[in-house]
């Protein structure tokens, strides 16, 4: 079986592609920039639809324009996060062989709740979250009609991202660990008590593969699973990081307002029952990052 991974040059996508390749899967890894073997922009319908052939038995769809970028550029966010997903789903429908479709959603579908559970109703306050939620609904419907075997994971903040900053609103949560460890000073744009629901890169990669392996009947008609994210404050992140770089807190009012409305913890009984594992604590997340720093393939993907 051939597996398609979109967003394969990104932080999560590159780690997932390495994970699958190490297990002998035949991969089509695509992104709009190197080092992905297949280069192209899924915002163009012709390219997106060309990726799904009769040989492709599963699609891991991770390509997206992240939260801050989608908020700054509504048209591009809609094209990448929503239209491209539907183009891939349509390609699956037209291919006619019901491939597995595993989608990277986000807890950005929620707002205004400190603790999110399986019973929390999604109410996105950013375009990124709205686009992800619409895609979840589409995946449920395409699954109901027999076009795909869909699975979507609502991801907490995934840490620790190497390399430079991107446009994710949660980017500070990686920087406050990454920069001091690299011996660089960092000005954190949120208060020390600001909290995020967090999970490590390793746990997320495991979760995507576990979603692929789960029997369809265990998921039922609701194909979205909320992954557990542990609550960690900015100060706790800083304390766990160590390093020689200094951190100064200088909250940005606009960003702080957004952070005050995002989920601070995620508790999903369904995810546990389905066998998805979460990070134990912030120290485990930092230790994984430190271990990955010695791997050049990991360190160069941000």
CB count within 10 Å of CB 167 equals 14
Let me know if 128 is a catalytic residue.
yes
Helix, strand or coil, per DSSP, at residue 16: helix
Q: What angle do CA 122, 31, 292 make, to 5 degrees?
A: 80
Is there a contact between 246 and 280 (Cβ–Cβ < 8 Å)? no
Is there a contact between 42 and 84 (Cβ–Cβ < 8 Å)? yes
Is there a contact between 158 and 288 (Cβ–Cβ < 8 Å)? no
The single residue of 11, 110, 128, 186 carrying the catalytic annotation is 128
Angstrom CA distances, 197 to 55, 141, 212, 230, stand at 38, 29, 24, 5
The catalytic residue positions are 128
């Amino acid at each position: 079986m051939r597996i398609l991974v979109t967003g394969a040059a990104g932080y999560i996508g590159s780690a997932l592609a390495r994970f699958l390749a190490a297990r002998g899967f035949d991969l089509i890894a695509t992104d709009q920039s190197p080092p992905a073997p297949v280069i192209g922009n899924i915002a163009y319908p012709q390219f997106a639809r060309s990726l799904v052939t009769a040989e492709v038995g599963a699609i891991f769809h991770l390509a997206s324009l992240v939260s801050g970028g989608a908020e700054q550029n509504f048209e591009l966010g809609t094209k990448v996060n929503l239209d491209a997903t539907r183009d891939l789903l349509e390609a699956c429908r037209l291919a006619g062989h019901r491939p597995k479709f595993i989608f990277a959603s986000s807890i950005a579908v929620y707002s205004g709740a400190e603790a999110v559970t399986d019973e929390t109703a999604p109410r996105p306050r950013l375009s990124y979250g709205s686009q992800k939620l619409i895609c979840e609904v589409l995946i449920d419907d395409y699954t109901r009609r027999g076009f795909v075997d869909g699975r979507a994971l609502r991801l907490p903040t995934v840490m620790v991202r190497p390399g430079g900053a991107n446009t994710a609103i949660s980017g500070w949560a990686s920087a406050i660990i990454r920069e001091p460890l690299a011996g660089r000073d960092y000005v954190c744009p949120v208060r020390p008590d600001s909290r995020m629901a967090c999970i490590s890169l390793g746990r997320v990669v495991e979760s995507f593969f576990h979603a692929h392996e789960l029997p369809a009947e265990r998921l039922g008609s609701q194909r979205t699973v909320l992954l557990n994210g542990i609550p960690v404050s900015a100060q706790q992140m800083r304390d766990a990081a160590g390093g020689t770089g200094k951190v100064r807190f200088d909250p940005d009012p606009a960003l702080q307002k957004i952070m005050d409305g995002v989920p601070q913890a995620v508790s999903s009984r369904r995810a546990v029952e389905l066998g998805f594992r979460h990070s134990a604590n912030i120290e485990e997340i930092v230790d994984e990052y430190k271990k990955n720093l010695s791997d050049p393939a990991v360190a160069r993907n941000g």
